[in-house]
Structure 1
Amino acid sequence: MLQITELYIYPIKSMGGIRLNEAMVTDRGLQYDRRWMLIDDNNRFISQRECSQMALLKTAINDSYLVVTNNVTNTSINIPLTTRSKGFIQVTIWDDSCVSVLMRDEINAWFTKALGISVRLVYMPDDSQRLVEEKYAKHNDITSFSDAFPFLLIGQSSLDDLNTRLDNAVQIDRFRPNIVFSGAAPYCEDTIDSFTINNINFNGAKLCARCNMITINQNDSTSAKEPTKTLARYRRRDNKIYFGQNLIHNGSGKISVGDELHLISTHTDQRFIIA
């Protein structure tokens, strides 16, 4: 039986995630997942790829606020979940552009001081619709400020297999999944085509090509060659390294740790099978 073992959201793109026991599936992914994002002076997104210190900013959510804590200075800031803003702004994520809400000056100043670079925080309102790439979409699917898709699925056995090949094991937070599952062979997620959780439909869109973020230790923001070096030996195709499956979905509702993934179909498409 395939079963959810961990659920994660990352409220601010590229900052610390939150492990949940249950989560609400919305039109663009899990509730609060990547609904906020830091941008530079050119209104372009910023991630750990350029600023690894973002790993040291951890997030939590209570009834009223998104709470961000700087693990270096042990200082925090409360960001209202009901957004009050300076106005709207057009922002860029990779090749996409969408309308966002710009946060207040005092919030932007806190992040600028924490990271030592000029940044501003933006929020994606409900009426801002960022479409998934057309060739992967099925129902005019949308996503938040994620890199490209509303969900990332990783099998626990895939991480376990990787760690048998490493001198020093890595944690799942390197890979920033939304759903982690058990009950299958390593890399089973590569060939998952469709499944349901609590009558919500999920479809595999494409394997997730990994960038340098997986080399960043999420506890201290240091980086090394692993696990990229090891993954390159057996998870490489066309000069890209793959780990995990991006998903799109149809439906909404609650999913929880312990819920079953009801597998509907798999595929044997060689484009998605890594030897």
Structure 2
Amino acid sequence: MHLAAINLHPVKSTAIRPVEEAYVGRAGIVGDREWMVVDGSGKLVTAREMRELFTVVADTPATGGPDGVDLLLSRAGMDPLEVSAPGEEAPMVDVRLFEKALTARAVGDAADAWVRKALGRDDLRLMWCADPAKRPMNPAKYRPGEYASFHDSSPVSLISDASAAQIDEWADDDVPVGRFRANLLIGGVAAAFAEDDWKEVAIGGARFRVAAPIDRCVMTTIDPETLTSGKDPLRTLAVHRKWDGKVWAAIHLAVVHPGEIAVGDEVVVSE
């Protein structure tokens, strides 16, 4: 088995940014979901309710963005914006990531104005995760010392090529693997959903613990190119992969040992 792809999403719900190599830290892969958009109440805004986020490209040094620029925002028809991570003088803001109450650092007026123009809403703000270690994690799934930035749950997500191919084969509509927005795609896996039974995963210099399977939401039904939505893969998963009232595909990982990873690295698992 080998690491077939690494995908980052610097601002939560924005375009996928594939990279050839990356560093895995305690809070996840550097450059992944370290920024997010919130509404006027501080609640997270994702492509679930504002699919135009898929049209925004966010780059950091980790994704090949320009040197000296913490975040570069771009979108067709707009001038790009260079953004610096806010310093300690920037206000800390109470925000909500789904049911989780967090604090984040406000990025500033220029970034807010750009995001509002790009997405067509005048109440949006851009936030940066200043201290992932302060984020509370679900104690039923995560251990002390395990934390994440603005990820839904775990710092890293993984799906195998065999699982993605099986879901696509079952489905009436095309379901490309990108619909699952997993950080890591594993190639050469012998059987679909083999990752359900993995306990630990070693890739390059990093080692992970499997924390939980991933229950899937409506975001997987949105085509990131056309912004239209259909019934798959949720319809298909409801037939083949439904239990506890949810549908499942891919796995959450917690970081046991940080390190460098690269496409092509051998993948070693324990069950």
**Normalised by the size of structure 1, how large is the TM-score?**
0.90
Distance in 1, Cα, partners of 2:209 & 2:241: 22
Q: Give the drift of 1:216.
A: 0.6
Match of 1:182 among 176, 179, 187: 187
Q: Give the drift of 1:148.
A: 0.9
Match of 2:86 among 80, 83, 88: 83
Distance in 2, Cα, partners of 1:120 & 1:83: 13
**Is residue 2:110 matched to residue 1:106?**
yes
Distance in 2, Cα, partners of 1:6 & 1:12: 19
Distance in 2, Cα, partners of 1:127 & 1:44: 18
Number of residue pairs aligned between Structure 1 and Structure 2: 262
Contact 1:196 1:263 in 2 (8 A): yes
Q: Give the drift of 1:103.
A: 1.2
Residue matched to 2:200? 194
Q: Give the drift of 1:128.
A: 5.3
1:142–1:235: structure 2 CA closer, same or farther, 3 Å change rule?
same
Q: Give the drift of 1:247.
A: 0.8
Match of 1:163 among 152, 162, 168: 168
Match of 2:120 among 109, 116, 120: 116
Residue matched to 1:137? 142
Map 1:1-275 → 2, pairs under 5 A: 2-61=1-60, 62=65, 63-65=67-69, 66-71=71-76, 73-80=77-84, 82-84=85-87, 86-117=90-121, 118-126=123-131, 129-184=134-189, 185-264=191-270, 266=271
Q: Give the drift of 1:24.
A: 0.5
Contact 1:91 1:97 in 2 (8 A): yes
Instruction: Give the letter aligned to residue 165 of structure 2.
Output: D
Calculate the aligned-residue CA RMSD, in Å.
Answer: 1.6
**Normalised by the size of structure 2, how large is the TM-score?**
0.91
Structure number with higher strand proportion = 1
The gaps in structure 2 that reach 5 residues or longer are none
Contact 1:132 1:140 in 2 (8 A): no
Q: Give the drift of 1:74.
A: 4.6
Q: Give the drift of 1:126.
A: 3.4
Contact 1:156 1:180 in 2 (8 A): yes
Distance in 2, Cα, partners of 1:237 & 1:135: 19
Distance in 1, Cα, partners of 2:265 & 2:94: 38
Contact 1:100 1:128 in 2 (8 A): no
Distance in 2, Cα, partners of 1:256 & 1:26: 14
The gaps in structure 1 that reach 5 residues or longer are 267-275
Residue matched to 1:270? none
Q: What secondary structure, in the 3-state scheme, does the structure 1 residue paired with 2:44 have?
A: coil
Larger deviation: 32-41 or 229-238?
Answer: 229-238
